[in-house]
Amino acid sequence: MGLWQRFTLIFRSKANKALDRAEDPRETLDYSYQRQLDLLSKVRRGVADVATSRKRVELQINQLDQQSAKLQDQAQKAISMEREDLAREALTRKSGLTTQINDLKAQHAQLQAEEEKLTLAQQRLQAKVESFRTRKETIKATYTAAEAQTRINEAFSGLGDELGDVGQAIQRAEDKTAQMQARAGAIDELIASGALEDVTGGGGDDIARELEAMSSQADVEAELAALKAGSAPPPPQAIEPAEDGGDIIATEQQKTEGNQA
């Protein structure tokens, strides 16, 4: 296969696919139906023309019959008046009219046969057109339903893809939220264990830590004094809040000295 033949084949195949995409079967069916209606209309006009010609021939035959009958009467009157020459002339003209009448009758028979043939063809064509119209409407309805179903399926397919993307986005959001929650929990544990300082409490945290340290030291001293005295360690006492830090320290020192005594 030559280069030009390959190019022609490719072009025809591409053009055929483009035409298939652009072609609407409903429009094609409507166009075919319109063409059949035009053909049926032409056949009807042909039948009407033949019928008109037949009718015109019938009128001519009737006129010639009337003239022939009139010539026959004239010939009889001429014979009664002993005018044989006029009778012969009338009969001669009548003979000519008879020839014309016979020719017209033959033409009338042909036109009548043609009219009957065209009428039968018109009836058959009309039946086919009606059958095609019914089939056309059925095919159009089926095609429209199939087209609507295809669009619905395509919509559902696109919706499924979109829902899949949304599901993945939700999964990513949930994973990220869980990761942030785990990180926040780990930070809380580190703050609780003292590995990280909680800087969200403000400036009062230093005093609280100092008080806790003093309380722990007082408990240690109390337990140590109890061990020396050979008795069980007293329960830890809570530090009563004082007006300032100095009173708290003095109170703790007094309690420690009392225990030692």
Q: What is 103-135 written as a DSSP string?
A: HHHHHHHHHHHHHHHHHHHHHHHHHHHHHHHHH
H helices of 194-238, in order, are 205-229
> Tens-digit pLDDT profile for the chain (261 aa)?
566 666 566 656 655 555 556 567 888 888 888 999 999 999 999 899 999 999 999 999 999 999 999 988 988 998 888 888 888 888 899 889 999 999 999 999 999 999 999 999 899 999 999 999 999 899 888 888 888 888 887 777 766 666 666 667 777 777 888 887 777 777 766 666 665 555 554 444 566 666 677 777 777 778 878 887 875 555 555 444 444 444 444 455 555 555 444
What pLDDT is recorded for position 113?
Answer: 92
Q: What is the pLDDT of residue 4?
A: 63
Q: How many Å separate Cα 51 from the centre of its chain?
A: 53
What pLDDT, on a 0 to 100 scale, did the predictor assign at position 102? 93
Residue 235 pLDDT: 56
Spatial contact of 43 and 118, defined as CB atoms under 8 Å apart: yes
How far apart CA 231 and CA 75 sit, in angstroms, is 181
Q: In angstroms, rounded to a whole number, what is the distance separating the alpha carbons of residues 207 and 245? A: 9
Q: State the pLDDT at residue 13.
A: 60
**The domain defined by 3-171 carries CATH number 3.90.660:** no
Domain residue spans of the chain? 3-171, 206-260
Long-range contact set of residues 219-223: C-beta below 8 Å, sequence gap at least 24: 221/256, 221/259, 222/255, 222/256, 222/259
pLDDT of 55: 93
DSSP state of 236: P
Phi-psi region of 244 (alpha: psi -120 to 50; beta: other; left: phi over 0): beta
Say how far apart CA 12 and CA 18 lie, in whole Å: 10
Asked if 40 and 126 count as a contact pair (C-beta separation under 8 A), the reply is yes
Q: What are phi and psi of 233, to 5 degrees?
A: -70, 135
Round to the nearest angstrom and report the end-to-end CA distance of the chain.
122
The reported pLDDT for the residue numbered 242 is 45
Coil vs helix vs strand at 231: coil
pLDDT value for 221: 78
Q: At what angle do helices 84-193 and 25-80 cross, to 10 degrees?
A: 170
CA distances from 88 to 27, 72, 95 (A): 73, 10, 10
Q: What is the pLDDT of residue 27?
A: 86
